[in-house]
Amino acid sequence: MLNPQNSRYQTGLAKLKEIDGEAGQKVCDALQDVAPDFAHLMVEFAFGDIYSRPGLDLKTREIAVVAALTALGNAGPQLRVHLHAALNVGCTREQITETIMMMSVYAGFPAALNGLFAAKEVFAAEGV
């Protein structure tokens, strides 16, 4: 079992909460019965090592994640989590929508349409 008290994990957990609020913890909790070490590694690496680096603010990072997940075209649940996160860190509805629309050029219209429909759901849930 990995150590939940190490500094990478604690840094990552704090960053995850700052970005995703309770949604990030729900993802970690959902993994506990199948792969608790994976949840721990995700917190350490993605949020403790990468998201915590200097050089990009959280809004820019979330715009990049929204673009990447939209372009993948097959990551709807993760895209929805990061759409909520993007709003949480201060991205506007227009910034998110424009980012997703840009992906039509690079990932195709189906991927962009899927992203826009995911955004529509999140915007409705968030009241924006």
Question: Which single residue is written with the structure tokens 């079992």?
Answer: 1
**The pLDDT of residue 23 is above 90:** no
Give the pLDDT band (50/70/90) at residue 4: low
Q: For all residues of the chain together, what is the average pLDDT?
A: 93
Q: How many domains does the chain have?
A: 2
Q: Are residues 79 and 111 in the same domain?
A: yes
Per-residue pLDDT at 26 exceeds 70: yes
- Provide the pLDDT for residue 1: 53
User: What does the pLDDT read at residue 74?
Assistant: 94
Joined together, the tokens standing for residue 9 give 């994990």
Beta-strand ranges (E) seen in the chain are none
Report the pLDDT value the prediction gives residue 114, as an integer from 0 to 100: 97
Q: What is the four-CA torsion angle of 50, 53, 56, 61, rounded to 10 degrees? A: 20
Asked if residue 62 and residue 35 are part of one domain, the reply reads no
Claim to verify: residue 67 and residue 44 sit in the same structural domain: no
Whether residues 108 and 88 fall in one domain: yes
What is the span of the domain harbouring residue 70?
58-126
Q: Decide which of 91 and 2 is more confident.
A: 91
Judge contact between 52 and 9, C-beta under 8 A: no
Specify whether 94 is located in the same domain as 113. yes
We report the CATH number of the domain holding residue 63 as 1.20.1290.10
Residue 17 lies in a domain: yes
Please indicate, yes or no, whether residues 68 and 36 belong to a single structural domain of this protein: no
Same domain for 44 and 67?
Answer: no
Q: How confident is residue 15, by pLDDT bands cut at 50, 70 and 90?
A: very high
Same domain for 45 and 62: no
Q: What pTM does this model have? A: 0.89
pLDDT in tens, 50-81: 999 999 999 999 999 999 999 999 999 999 99
Tell me what the mean pLDDT of segment 82-94 comes to.
97
Is residue 42 located within the same domain as residue 62?
Answer: no
* In-domain check, residue 1: no
Buried/exposed code over 14-49 (b: 16+ C-beta within 10 A; e: otherwise): ebbebbbeebbeebbeeeeeeeeeebbbbbbebbbe
Q: What is the pLDDT of residue 27?
A: 86
**Are residues 77 and 107 both part of a single domain?**
yes
Look at residue 2 and tell me if it is in a domain: no
